[in-house]
């Protein structure tokens, strides 16, 4: 049984996972120092510390390599899992792309115990609930989930599972990168945007009703809070700081929605003062939509409220070639759920033709979030290589010569293995 704990956004380095050493609070400027503690822990655990004297005669580089190998070997030998992750394969194309993502993630060597859970249409079929209690229990326990797309039944009383999950775990950050990739047809080159969408407030909070039984009018109330605005804008700045991003653009409609938009802009501008090294500007949503389709390269990190964020993040996916390659993350202080931006694509269900990259890139974001930065990079690099070559890709990427979902996943795994 695996006992790994997960690090969450804003809490990285506060506690080390079992068998891992948190180095983040120490000044470890040299690579050897960064790996040394972890290597020594593994050596001790393996009962090999008697060999330590031998290492004293080795060069730093050789020691580094050996320590890494021993660390990997030690983990593999014990078959120990580092992380428990809830896996929700989802509906439609979900099971097929989730299986591909799982195989690719497992091929990185990061040990994950997958806790597979049923939700969505299958949940309705089996338990008469699109979000059965055991799914919530599993995420509550593991704190990390990789989720396939879920079909939201239309015209029934069932709530949106995606919205319910965000509310249940207070996943206030919706983070979606939109990055150009060679081999993916798009109108622009070198786009590299990160959208931070507030995920819990405003028009998605579910405060809506008809004003009378005749349905003569309907009302949706969008509440924007000071605390909610502050945490999402701060998250965007913290991300920018950590990843060397230069600029944060806050998007609003404060000229018309003077209270909700006004509060978001006021709070965001105050938060920006704490980050003098990161450029800050704001744009009104309609102007922003036009600017993005005219010249997306002028933007870097974008932060906005729920509804505008929903629309802008799809727009940004479109700028880099559509949904097949677009990953996303829903992150809170306690838990995080990673998923593809696209839906369950009922038109492709059972055909083994769906592109597995979006959910796999979401899996790479999950690994990065867990601190498995190298594994995350290897996945991203292998996907870039396969997509750039354009041979072993699904129909959406090359309609004239394509392979199945499974075959594309195989090619990505092969790419990772041949690179290491």
Report the interface residues with ligand NAD, using CB under 6 A. 93, 97, 149-152, 162, 323-324, 339, 342-348, 354-355, 358, 396
310 included as an active-site residue = yes
Which of 90, 92, 150, 138 lies closest to 114 in space, CA to CA? 138
The angle at the Cα of 63, spanning 57 to 69, to the nearest 5 degrees, equals: 140
CB of 342 to ligand NAD, least distance (A): 3
CB of 339 to ligand NAD, least distance (A): 5
What are 121's two structure tokens?
Answer: 């249409």
Which of 144, 136, 198 lies closest to 161 in space, CA to CA? 136
CB of 203 to ligand NAD, least distance (A): 17
Quick check: 289 and 315 in contact, CB under 8 A? yes
> Which of 115, 204, 368, 396 does the annotation list as catalytic?
204
**Residue placing its CB nearer to ligand NAD in the complex, 4 or 324:** 324
**Residue placing its CB nearer to ligand NAD in the complex, 93 or 122:** 93
> CA-to-CA distance for 38 and 46, rounded, in angstroms?
12
What are 311's two structure tokens?
Answer: 């629309």
Residue nearest to ligand NAD (CB): 343
**Residue placing its CB nearer to ligand NAD in the complex, 2 or 323:** 323
- Residue linked to tokens 């309907």: 218
239 included as an active-site residue = no
Which of 28, 29, 74 lies closest to 48 in space, CA to CA? 74
> CA-to-CA distance for 79 and 77, rounded, in angstroms?
5
Residues paired with residue 303 on neighbouring β-strands, in sequence order: 196, 250
170 included as an active-site residue = no
CB of 354 to ligand NAD, least distance (A): 4
Quick check: 202 and 260 in contact, CB under 8 A? yes
DSSP-assigned states of every residue in 91-148: STTHHHHHHHHHHHHHHTT--EEEEE---HHHHHHHHS-SS-HHHHHHHHHHSEEEE-
CB of 396 to ligand NAD, least distance (A): 4
**Residue placing its CB nearer to ligand NAD in the complex, 248 or 348:** 348
> Which of 106, 137, 286, 347 does the annotation list as catalytic?
286
CB of 154 to ligand NAD, least distance (A): 7
**Residue placing its CB nearer to ligand NAD in the complex, 236 or 345:** 345
**Residue placing its CB nearer to ligand NAD in the complex, 151 or 313:** 151
DSSP 158: P
**Residue placing its CB nearer to ligand NAD in the complex, 120 or 296:** 120
> CA-to-CA distance for 135 and 133, rounded, in angstroms?
5
CB of 379 to ligand NAD, least distance (A): 16
351 included as an active-site residue = no
Residues paired with residue 88 on neighbouring β-strands, in sequence order: 147
Phi-psi category of residue 244: left, alpha or beta, with phi > 0 → left and psi -120 to 50 → alpha = left
C-alpha pair distances (Å), 30 with each of 16, 33, 328: 20, 5, 33
What are 189's two structure tokens?
Answer: 């080159």
Would you name the residues annotated as active-site residues?
204, 253, 286, 310
């Amino acid at each position: 049984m695996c006992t790994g704990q997960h690090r969450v956004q804003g809490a990285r380095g506060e506690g080390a996972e079992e068998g891992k050493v948190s180095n983040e609070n120490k000044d470890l400027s040299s690579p050897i120092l960064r790996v040394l503690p972890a290597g020594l822990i593994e050596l001790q655990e393996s009962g090999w510390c008697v060999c330590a004297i031998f290492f004293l005669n080795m060069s730093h580089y050789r020691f580094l390599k050996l320590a890494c190998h021993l660390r990997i070997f030690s983990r593999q030998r014990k078959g120990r899992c580092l992380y428990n992750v809830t896996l929700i394969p989802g509906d439609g194309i979900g099971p097929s792309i989730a299986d591909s993502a799982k195989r690719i993630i497992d091929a990185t060597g990061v040990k994950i115990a997958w806790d597979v859970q049923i939700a969505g249409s299958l949940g309705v079929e089996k338990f008469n609930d699109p979000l059965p209690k055991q799914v919530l229990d599993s995420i509550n326990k593991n704190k990390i989930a990789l989720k396939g797309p879920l079909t939201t039944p239309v015209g029934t009383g069932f709530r949106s599972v995606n919205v319910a999950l965000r509310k249940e775990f207070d996943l206030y950050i919706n983070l979606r990168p939109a990055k150009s990739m060679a081999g993916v047809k798009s109108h622009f080159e070198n786009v590299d945007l990160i959208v931070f969408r507030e995920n819990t407030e405003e028009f998605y909070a579910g405060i809506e009703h008809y004003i009378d039984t005749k349905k003569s009018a309907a009302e949706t109330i969008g509440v924007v809070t000071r605390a909610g605005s502050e945490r999402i804008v701060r998250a965007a700045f913290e991300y920018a700081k950590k990843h060397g991003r230069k600029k944060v653009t806050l998007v609003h409609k404060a000229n018309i929605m003077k209270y909700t938009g006004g509060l978001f802009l006021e709070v965001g501008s105050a938060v920006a003062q704490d980050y003098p090294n990161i450029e800050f500007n704001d744009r009104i949503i309609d102007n922003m939509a036009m600017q993005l389709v005219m010249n997306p390269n002028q933007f870097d990190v974008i932060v906005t409220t729920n509804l505008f964020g929903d629309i802008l993040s799809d727009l940004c996916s479109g700028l880099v070639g559509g949904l097949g390659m677009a990953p996303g993350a829903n992150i809170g202080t306690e838990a995080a759920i990673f998923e593809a931006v696209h839906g369950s694509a009922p038109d492709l269900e059972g055909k083994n033709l769906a592109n597995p990259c979006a959910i796999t890139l979401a899996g790479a974001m999950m690994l990065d979030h867990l601190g498995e930065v190298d594994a995350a990079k290897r996945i991203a690099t292998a996907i870039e290589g396969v997509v750039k070559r354009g041979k072993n890709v699904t129909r959406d990427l090359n309609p004239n010569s394509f392979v199945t979902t499974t075959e594309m996943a195989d090619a990505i795994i092969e790419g990772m293995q041949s690179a290491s």
